[in-house]
Amino acid sequence: MARYDDIREWEPNLDGRGVRVGVALARFNRDVGDGLLSAAIERLRALHVAPEAIAIVTVPGALELPLALRAMAQSGQFDALIALGAVIRGETYHFEVVANEMAAGITRVQLDTGVPIANGVLTTNTDEEAEVRMTQKGRDCAEVAVEMANLLRSLAREGGRR
């Protein structure tokens, strides 16, 4: 990334100490969801997020994630959230409806509440594609959650200074 001496720039901060993270997991396609969750939790711990600062809720499927995430965001208990699950293409248009509405709902919750949400809901053509991607996606979501929580804290703290 280019550096500019005359422009204020915030560096990514992946120090999870003091960061509170909520995870919402869709139970549909459970094996993939469990793989995503395991990778996310492992990475959160590696980033020094305390186990007592992590909470997990489960919901039936991807369409229920936005509502659970909204409740979690509005609770004031979390600095960042992670949405996990898998929507795997079938032979009907249902895949597009679920994938699009779930993603739009997660984005809306994030923007409406100001709580960052790492979207780790895989949308794939096959189970095999989801299984190949689940570990890296779970890790990525942990990093996104910690980085965004730290960025928003930093911006709020330093907002009036220039």
Active site residues: 94
CA distance 106 to 68: 10
Amino acid at 124: T
Report how far residue 162's alpha carbon sits from residue 156's, in angstroms, rounded to the nearest whole number: 13
Rounded Cα distance between 152 and 87, Å, is: 30
Question: Do 125 and 88 form a contact (C-beta atoms < 8 A)?
Answer: yes
> Helices marked H in the chain — which ranges?
30-46, 65-74, 94-113, 127-158
Neighbours of 128 (CB within 10 A): 10
First-to-last alpha carbon distance for the chain, in angstroms, is 22
